[in-house]
């Protein structure tokens, strides 16, 4: 019986805490996102600086995904230091495709295990040609995009 009462009290306290957190009046809760383009107070919402994660039409490398991987294959230069030390890895790069298709704000979100791999991945991403920008509701938008770049040394046993 005591266990049932304890569980009941614990669940009531938990629900009260969840309710309090959900009703917290921080700045984001008082400014809900409004899909009709207004900020909730009747003023037109300016989203020129907003960076989207997902849009109706995602940005695309000219020629599509196969052209992107072909570009990476042709332009990635395996760092000599990493090759000499038999270092392999996969670098995850994130960047923003701007409204004009240019690439900005390139960052490594997951390292390949060596700075030389990370630097090469960033170099190749920064040197990409302009992309076809992303679109939301018929308007060009800034979109964050992530690309993995794998660094693999040839298997000597396959020679």
30-45 pLDDT per residue, tens:
344 445 455 555 555 5
Pairing type for strands 103-110 and 89-97 reads antiparallel
Question: Could you give the C-alpha distances from 11 to 3, 20, 24, 99, 102, in angstroms and in order?
Answer: 12, 14, 20, 49, 52
Query: Which residue segments constitute the domains of the chain, with CATH numbers given?
Result: 51-154 (3.30.2420.10)
**pTM listed for this prediction:** 0.70
Q: How confident is the model at residue 52 (pLDDT cuts 50, 70, 90)?
A: very high
Query: What's the residue count for the chain?
Result: 159
């Amino acid at each position: 019986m005591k266990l049932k009462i304890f569980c009941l009290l614990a669940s009531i306290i938990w629900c009260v805490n969840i309710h309090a957190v959900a009703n917290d009046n921080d700045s984001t809760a008082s400014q809900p996102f409004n899909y009709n383009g207004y900020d909730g107070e009747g003023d037109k919402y300016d989203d020129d600086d907003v960076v989207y994660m997902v849009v109706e039409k995602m940005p695309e490398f000219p020629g599509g995904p196969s052209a992107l991987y072909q570009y990476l294959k042709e332009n990635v230069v395996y760092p000599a230091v990493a090759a000499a030390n038999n270092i392999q890895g996969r670098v995850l790069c994130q960047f923003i495709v701007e409204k004009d298709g240019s690439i900005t704000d390139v960052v490594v979100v997951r390292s390949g295990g060596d700075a030389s791999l990370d630097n090469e991945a960033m170099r190749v991403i920064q040197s990409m040609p302009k992309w076809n920008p992303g679109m939301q509701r018929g308007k060009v938008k800034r979109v964050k995009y992530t690309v993995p770049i794998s660094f693999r040394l040839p298997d000597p046993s396959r020679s």
